[in-house]
Structure 1
Amino acid sequence: MIATAGHVDHGKSALVRALTGMEPDRWEEERRRGLTIDLGFAWTTLPSGRRVAVVDVPGHERFIGNMLAGVGSVPTALVVVAADDGWSAQTAEHVAVLDALGVRAGLLAVTKADLADPAPVLADARERLAGTSLGRLPAVAVSARTGAGLPELTAALERVLAGLPAPDPAAPVRLWVDRAFTIRGAGTVVTGTLAAGTLTAGDRLDLGGRTVTVRGLQSLGAPVETAVATARVALNLRGVAVEEISRGDALLTPDAFRRTADLDVTLVAPVEGTLPAEAVVHIGSATVAARVRPLDGTAVRLRLAHELPLRVGDRLLLRDPGVRRVLGADVRDVDPPELRRRGAARSRAAELAEQPAGAEGAAADLARRRFVRRADFVAMGWPVPAGTTTVGPWLVAPGLADELAARVPQVVARYRQLRPLEPGPPLAVLRSALELPDVELVPAVVRAPLELREGRVVAADPGLPAAVQRAVDGIRARLAAEPFAAPEAGDLVAAGLGTRELAAAVRAEQLVRIADGVYLAPGVAEVARARLAGLPSPFTLSEARQAWGTTRRVAVPLAEWLDARGITVRLPDNTRRLR
């Protein structure tokens, strides 16, 4: 993929026609006026067999927005300057855009070499380009009219394209739409430059929150089953009308990008003068207004007029239409923190200045966030740092789980001090105390001898308050002699065992609740079964009561309790047998 940059009078479109044999100017008005107004597209096969696509961008200053929509996704630029005209203000503007985008691969073509000596313009243009991201480009003098220099231009293109790094075919797709139209019998068709990833017929893509399906796929005018970056593609879409899609929309791998209207960026170079309060942001083929808030130095916060699918590491352009200035900016955060305190903007700028890129930057960002869902973190554009704790869908900053685990015993002890009859805090209480974003993170910070039990964080043997323990011990001593002589309600109250104390004893497995007001000792099920085993089968409730040596107040709920646990089976005639 290459983009042509330069003034229309430099013979840019004519050069594309001579190189590819195709007419890049799509509109009749363009051909009539000899002026490129909108993006043009052409392609050809080089002698090596390499297929190359060309995006022909407008040169006139009135169409700078269209020009920016064409260069945002291409990796290489063909800078066109005419031998009889030389470097122009619009050439400088286009090169400034390429420089702001950080484009490093390219080729200089001095056209109309049949009309003037190309050497002076060649030397001047190369010198001007040397101070930009393009550096000292290979240069060729060419005439589209006579064909002189075209073989040399083709050979130079081969070398430039061969030196490009290979895009990642497994990367998520973000296809910025630059055209949308309908074809009779096919429906909605969109075109764009596939800068990374792979597209296949049948793929389901996200378009502004809705799912669309790729019915068919073309690359460079030919139907294909699969297109691999970098490639010019046309997609026949199912699930969207042409009126619902336009230039600047993006087709995305589902859940792979974060849509955001608030982001932090750092300018590629310091700015002379002040930044505008409002600017126009360009990325891919998208154009959106933005409010600009300088933080400090080259750090800037942007609030977009509408959300865009952005990732950390994206390069975007800030255009100040008032002074025709274009600035490059690198996206540093697509989910930035709020700036509420005095001095927060300067502090945030310092944080961004110190934050490295790549894996180290990911670790620093995760440390600041503490907890983040893995899918959200990856969608921001970060790799998952080594040493990260994973808890279900959550990422926990390295070392943070151990730090929080050290605080859990104190939280549990404090809770039991305030509520001595409860074995420990519910998970929601611990989540709040540790400021965890979700209760499902609690298991990651609970360590032995603490454990999770019935929705609480408890010690292995939480114990009962001393007074309650003495009362329970007294009840159990009585039950040891008569295991089915459940104490009356008045006896329980007299012993100091109210509803809360009894519930605590049951949770501590020191008493068994058979029914309201009926409490027996642990192991009662085995004792009851043993007594019943001596009865003829089936047996009546009265026979069971006599075997247990208790009253109906205890025998009736105890029999039902044994039924519910599958120890006994109640028969249609209300007799029972052991299971």
Structure 2
Amino acid sequence: MYVVATAGHVDHGKSTLVRELTGMEPDRLAEERRRALTVDLGFVWTELDGRVLAFVDVPGHERFVANMLTGVGPVTAVLFVVSAEEGWQAQSTEHLAALDAFGVRHGLLVVTKSDRAEAEPVLRDARERIARTSLGHVPALAVSAHSGAGLDRLREELVGMVGRLPPADREADVRLWVDRSFTVRGAGTVITGTLGAGTLRVGDELALTGSEQRAAVRGLQSLGRDRAEVAAVARVAVNLRGVGREHIQRGHALLTPGAWRHTTEVDARVRDEAAADLHRDLVLHIGAAAVPCRVRALGTDTVRLALAAEVPLAAGDTGLLRDPGEHRIPAGVEVLDAHPPRLRGRGAAAARAAVLDAGEEARAYVRRHGAVPVRELEILGWQLPGSRVGDWAVDDDLLAGLPARVSERVTEWASANPLAAGMPIESLRKALGVPGEVLSAVLPETGLDVQDGRVRRPGAVGSLPEAVERAVRDLESSLAEQPFRAPEAGDLAALGLGARELAAAERAGRLVRIADGVVLTPDALHRAARELTALDPPFTVSEVRRALGTTRRVAVPLLERLDGEGVTERLPDNTRRLAGFPRR
């Protein structure tokens, strides 16, 4: 499907033309038909050469310009209508200014009522005006809805125009701007809008602008027919479950959950007028939304817009600024940053303008945060500006300096925690303020040892603080004389060897703990195994205790350790024998 806005003229020459093209009545309201004046948006459709065209017929009168902007905002092509009888009007100028501000690039000029007045002068005038806008040089023709003259060619030109439209991204995240909302008895809340990208399906759960509620898609209609699925581009009516009519209004949007950033502040580039000349209080029209905003000039053509309500926006979105007091559209805008930084201090605005002028807003965003999920950049409408590590966009300077920062932080931590096995990786990550995926990527560049979730300097395992070193040497001297007489808790305390000191000594390979509070030298296990070869198997714990000259406190865990290492084998009667150790 292709969706085309019809705009340009105030009277019913436009509506009559659309009626002739589609065979449908675009004016929904009895008041419109009675006054021959389009007041609100009308929606009709037809099929031309196998292509379905839907038309959004927008009002032309200046009193209804807000309604007109709602209909034009989400649409990328326009059928611009001027009457040969009345010629170019003030409303024509306003509509063209709006299309130019929105940046619409595809269009077709039609001069109606060619049976009542000469069309060529109006065609020439209108084409010259349109050529100076974003539409550029458009195909133009004169028609008469009354006589039918030119209608066949118009249909051909419409087919040609929609053939030049860029294809829609049907896999994109949904942002459906609401242009109507109402209640249907027995069905509930229904909204309509122009789906410019993405795909809607019955059963989808969508987020709603301006509400914490989620809404489920209960049903879909497009062009008057029920659908299980509707893909862009399309006019669509959505029957919602889970949200009341009172929570939805024109200008809200239905959104893929988590795919859009709601914002009340954006940095934007303005077209057509210098930023400094803009009034301070204007209305931003974007999509179908109309939001009052406060304008602050940043640079020659860049502004900060403070919005009166949250709007789901991304970089690249185009809209316009309207001055309702003066009934004019001073400028079109393009969103550059939907999540800009605060402006603090003198010179902040100029510095920010320099970033925007250089097109560095995405890079500056990553620089401010250090590392940003790539998905977040996509939500904000940006491409990856620099380095990527896994799912993260990382500031180049941060990434280059991170290995040195890691080494420095680990060294500092080791000095403050000399008995620790190393700095926990999670503590290191928090201290540096980087994602774990980024930290893991740079650790191999640091030359540090990583083991069991801890980071330490090479060689740190073998070194002990001076006081601990003296205590361990005293203990080693004692065990050299009686290798299986493990010191009691009081003896360890007297030496100053607590749990942390013993753990450090064990990591250094100086002691081995065979049970809580039971420590021996590392060669004790092998020496015990050799001593046990002198015993006739099977042997008991008491026999082992006497052979080793130790206590049951040491003998039991020592035998359990030997069992675990396959040196001894425990028998059903709790006696043991050596397993494969040669006899003396």
Q: Under a length normalisation based on structure 2, what TM-score does the superposition of the two structures give?
A: 0.87
The alpha carbon displacement at 1:145 in A equals: 2.2
C-alpha spacing 1:486/1:92, structure 2 compared with 1 (3 Å): same
Q: For 1:102 and 1:84, how far apart are their aligned partners in 2?
A: 29
Is 2:448–2:458's contact at 8 Å kept on the other side of the alignment? yes
Q: 1:69 to 1:488 in 2, by over 3 A?
A: same
Task: Verify: 1:444 aligned to 2:441, yes or no.
Answer: yes
Measured after TM superposition, the shift of residue 315 of structure 1 is: 0.8
The one-letter code sitting in structure 1 at the alignment partner of 2:310 is E
The separation in 1 between residues aligned to 2:284 and 2:575, in whole angstroms, is 81
Provide, for residues 199-251 of structure 1, a one-character-per-residue CA deviation record: whole Å limited to 9, x for no partner. 33333333345443333322222233332221111223333333332222222
Q: Which residues of 2 match residues 257-406 of structure 1 at below 5 A?
A: 257-271=260-274, 274-326=277-329, 327-355=331-359, 362=362, 365-384=365-384, 387-390=387-390, 393-398=391-396, 400-406=398-404
Deviation at 1:99, TM superposition (A): 0.3
The offset of 1:40, in angstroms, is 0.6
Deviates more, 1:549-558 or 1:72-81: 549-558
Higher mean alpha-carbon deviation, 18-27 vs 202-211, is at: 202-211
Match runs of 1:492-571 below 5 Å: 492=492, 495=495, 497-498=497-498, 500-514=500-514, 517-522=517-522, 542-555=542-555
Q: Does the CA contact (< 8 Å) of 1:401 and 1:444 recur in 2?
A: no
Deviations 1:534-553 (A, max 9, x none): 87899765455335432245
Between the aligned partners of 1:66 and 1:250, the Cα distance in structure 2 is 16
Measured after TM superposition, the shift of residue 362 of structure 1 is 4.9
Structure 1 residue 348, shift from structure 2 partner: 1.0
Q: What pairs up with 1:466-477 in 2 under 5 angstroms?
A: 467=466, 468-476=468-476
Equivalence for 1:39: 41
In the alignment, is the contact (CA less than 8 A) between 2:275 and 2:303 conserved in 1? Answer: no
Pairs within 5 Å for 1:246-261: 246-261=249-264
When structure 1 is superposed on structure 2, of 296-305 and 519-528 the one drifting more is: 519-528
**Cα contact 1:10–1:80 (8 A) shared by 2:** no
- Cα gap change, 1:544 to 1:29, in 2 (>3 Å): farther
Q: 1:56-105, CA deviations, whole angstroms, 9 ceiling, x for partnerless residues? A: 11111221211111011111011111112111111111111100111111
Distance 1:237 1:324 in 2: 36
| Partner residue in 2 for 1:422 | 420
1:392-427, CA deviations, whole angstroms, 9 ceiling, x for partnerless residues? x53323564342012322222233334433344343
In structure 2, relative to structure 1, the CA distance for the partners of 1:519 and 1:31 (3 Å cut) is same
Amino acid at match of 2:79: L
Superposition RMSD on alpha carbons, in Å? Answer: 3.3
| Paired residues for 1:21-32 under 5 Å | 21-32=23-34
Amino acid corresponding to residue 5 of structure 1 in structure 2 = A
What's the offset of the Cα at 1:371?
0.2
Query: 2: distance between equivalents of 1:341 and 1:12?
Result: 53
Q: Matched residues in 2 for 1:187 and 1:13: separation?
A: 31
Structure 2 CA distance for aligned equivalents of residues 532 and 183 of structure 1:
91
What is the distance in 2 between the residues matched to 1:495 and 1:279?
A: 78
Aligned-partner Cα distance in 2 for 1:260–1:450: 43
Q: 1:175-214 maps to which residues of 2 (within 5 A)?
A: 175-208=176-209, 209-214=212-217
Q: TM-score, normalised to structure 1's length?
A: 0.88
Distance 1:291 1:489, change over 3 A: same
Corresponding residue of 1:60: 61
Q: Structure 1 counterpart of 2:439, which letter? A: V
Report the identity percentage. 54
Deviation at 1:294, TM superposition (A): 2.1
Instruction: Supply the distance in 1 between the matched residues of 2:229 and 2:148 (Cα, whole angstroms).
Output: 35
Aligned-partner residue type, residue 95 of structure 2 = H
How far did residue 110 of structure 1 move? 1.1
Mapped to 1, the partners of 2:109 and 2:131 lie a distance apart of 11
The verdict on how the C-alpha distance between 1:347 and 1:551 changes in structure 2, with shifts beyond 3 A counting, is same
Letter of the 1:322 counterpart? G
Structure 1 residue identity aligned to 2:179 = D
Q: Which amino acid aligns with 1:237?
A: L
Between the aligned partners of 1:253 and 1:172, the Cα distance in structure 2 is 6
State the 1:133 CA deviation.
0.7
SS at match of 1:8: coil
Distance (Å, rounded) in 2 between the aligned partners of 1:268 and 1:524 = 84
- In the alignment, residue 372 of structure 1 is paired with which amino acid? V
Stretch of structure 1 that moved more, 256-265 or 458-467: 458-467
Aligned to 1:50: 51
Code of the aligned partner of 2:374: R
What stretches of structure 1 of length at least 5 have no aligned partner?
none
| Cα distance in structure 2, aligned partners of 1:564 and 1:295 | 73
Q: In the comparison of the two structures, how many residue pairs are matched?
A: 570
| Distance (Å, rounded) in 2 between the aligned partners of 1:289 and 1:131 | 28
Partner of 2:463 in structure 1? 464
Partners in 2 of 1:21 and 1:293 — Cα distance? Answer: 48
> Once structures 1 and 2 are overlaid, which stretch shifts more, 524-533 or 243-252?
524-533
Mind listing any 5+ residue stretches in structure 2 that lack a counterpart? 580-584
Answer yes or no: is 1:410 the counterpart of 2:412.
Answer: no
Cα deviation for residue 281 of structure 1 reads: 1.9
Q: Which residue in 1 is equivalent to 2:117?
A: 116
Paired residue secondary structure (2:298): strand
Structure 2 counterpart of 1:267, which letter? V
Query: Structure 1 residues 424, 236: closer, same or farther in 2, change over 3 A?
Result: same
**2:304 is paired with a residue of what secondary structure?**
strand
Asked if 1:485 is matched to 2:482, the reply is: no
User: Is the contact between residue 180 and residue 246 of structure 1 (CA under 8 Å) also seen in structure 2?
Assistant: yes
